[in-house]
A and B are shown apart, each in its own frame.
Chain A
Amino acid sequence: MKPHITIVIKPTLFCNIDCKHCYHTPEERVKGEIPLEKVEKLIRMASEEYQTAWFIWHGGEPLTLPMSFYKEVIGYEEKYFGKDSMRYGNTINTNGTLLNKRLMAYCREKKINVGVSYEGPCNGILRAEDVEKTLNTLSAKDNKYSVGATISKDSASRQREIYQYFRDRGISVSLSPVIGAGCGKPYVPDTEEFVRGSIEAYDEWFNDNTARVPLMPFYQYIQNYLGEPVPSDCAHTSCLTKWICMYPDGSLYPCAKACPKSFCMGNIDDIGSIAEAFQTEGFANILVGSIARRDKCASCEIFRFCNGGCSVDACYENGLENNGGASCEAYKAIFAHVSQSIQRILDEKPDLDGYNPFVKEAVINKLINPKTVSQ
């Protein structure tokens, strides 16, 4: 059995709101739900081939499907992986507009993480709907959730403000730039401005000894630098073969982002195992280009941390087998800043009480755990 796979399932591409930056085009975002048999087959195959699996319910807006759908699929997970077996977990990524208390209660009962797309003070730039009330309820009900804030060209310089907004509410937030696919092209932030804004937000978080929440992806960058990369940082942990995505029609892709059709790994109906999907021409296509790009990256001093970055991002920047695109440049600049700040702590060993608890814990773990001392 292989150790772990992350499975993104898009039960529908339909969405009840029209975010301006969506990487699915309006023509793609039509009604149509994934048949339960396809989901059951994928869950069964995952349980047979992998020790653990993490399911991410994505879309479209996954909560346009009724709660009965999720009861069914969680039932399949319990059936094939074993109830309370700790071999599987779930995250629902939603725009938050259709979250209600019953669903929140169900997520608590089944230990489902909720990821809400929301930009706080910059809401309105990419989407009109405000879900602050929903977040308040999630917090009040002790649901496990975090917020994903998408950074556009109009909010690139306001990342610190976004972080402060969520920090004050005790909500974990992740800052991700718009990718130039689908409808997103006009909203992609300027790289320099994005880097500047990210570093401002990072510094604010880094020096805040009262911070109660991690700030993503910077906390992941710190863990990566300290020798403990986390799989959820998919762009920088060699994601191919570890992630798979299923669309409503059952077609399979190596990634949930806007994969070109040339990367399609067939249909769930036509394969007998997940391993078969990773032996298709579509998967070979993304492998060949990714290998070529990573070959060029090999001499870069941070390659061991970025592992060549995101193949789909590269695809929409300079081409799959070319590095040096916006995501590459941004990661280099931000990671350099993050790693310098951590290395300074490791070298100078200052009083860690001045730093935020997440940095403190990560550094202490690094100092006391010989396994991770490799710098």
Chain B
Amino acid sequence: MRVRPALLLNNGNFYAKTSANADKVNLMSYDAESIAKLTAMYESQSPNAFIAFSMEGLPQDNDHAERFDKGADEEHSELSGCDYPCCTDRGFCTTWKGHLCVIGTVVVLCACCCYATDGFFGNWPFWPF
């Protein structure tokens, strides 16, 4: 049998609240025992909701590549162009060493291609090899 809270709590002020006075509710204080009884009463109204309460929606493990820039901490107003730590938001290298690496790689690749295609199939007549 459910007991109306107003009957249970001699020191609780049972109130009627409307949207107009939602912030202006006059209440008396409750002792710990009263609140414990209130909580028990609340739970007894819907026992099933308090029987099995398990955590749901835990993130699953995934195996996709993580490219987290642990040094990045600044705020951005736009999506950055690249999220590798060696790149700036605009897609450029963050250091001069990075620039040198990229330029060196492009030169080597070009040289290899030129060698493999015998001067880009004769289009570059200065190819010495």
Q: Interface of A with B (CB < 8 Å)?
A: 3-4, 52, 54, 66-68, 71, 86, 89, 98-102, 104-106, 108-109, 111-113, 133-134, 137, 142, 144, 180, 229-232, 237-238, 240-242, 260-262, 278-281, 283-285, 287-292, 294-295, 298, 304, 307-308, 315-322
Residue in B closest to A293 when the chains form the complex, CB atoms: B45
**Cβ-based interface call for B111 (8 A):** no
The CA of A282 and the CA of B107, in the complex, are separated in Å by: 71
* CB <8 Å contact, B42 and A238: yes
* CB <8 Å contact, B77 and A113: no
Residue in A closest to B28 when the chains form the complex, CB atoms: A281
Which of A4, A105, A315 has a CB less than 8 Å from the CB of B19?
A315
Residue in A closest to B45 when the chains form the complex, CB atoms: A294
The CA of A321 and the CA of B49, in the complex, are separated in Å by: 20
* CB <8 Å contact, A279 and B35: yes
Q: Interface of B with A (CB < 8 Å)?
A: 2, 4-6, 9, 12, 14-19, 22-25, 27, 29-30, 32, 34-36, 38-39, 41-43, 45-46, 48-50, 53-62, 64, 66-69, 72-80, 82-83
Distance from A224 Cβ to chain B, minimum over Cβ atoms (Å): 10
* CB <8 Å contact, A281 and B29: yes
* CB <8 Å contact, A67 and B64: no
Distance from A103 Cβ to chain B, minimum over Cβ atoms (Å): 9
Contact A98:B68 (CB < 8 A) given known A105-B83, A288-B12, A288-B14? no
* CB <8 Å contact, A105 and B46: no
Give the 9 A-B CB pairs with smallest separation, nearest first: A111-B59, A101-B83, A238-B49, A105-B68, A284-B30, A100-B76, A52-B55, A102-B72, A262-B25
Contact A4:B54 (CB < 8 A) given known A279-B35, A298-B2? yes
Distance from A43 Cβ to chain B, minimum over Cβ atoms (Å): 16
The CA of A238 and the CA of B50, in the complex, are separated in Å by: 8
* CB <8 Å contact, A98 and B46: no
- A–B pairs, 24, beta carbons within 8 Å: A3-B54, A71-B73, A89-B58, A101-B82, A102-B76, A105-B69, A109-B68, A134-B79, A231-B54, A231-B55, A260-B22, A278-B35, A279-B32, A281-B30, A284-B30, A288-B9, A288-B38, A289-B17, A291-B38, A294-B46, A298-B45, A308-B45, A315-B19, A319-B18
Complex contacts, B12 vs chain A, CB 8 Å? 284, 288
The CA of A286 and the CA of B18, in the complex, are separated in Å by: 13
Distance from A27 Cβ to chain B, minimum over Cβ atoms (Å): 13
* CB <8 Å contact, B2 and A295: yes
* CB <8 Å contact, A285 and B25: yes
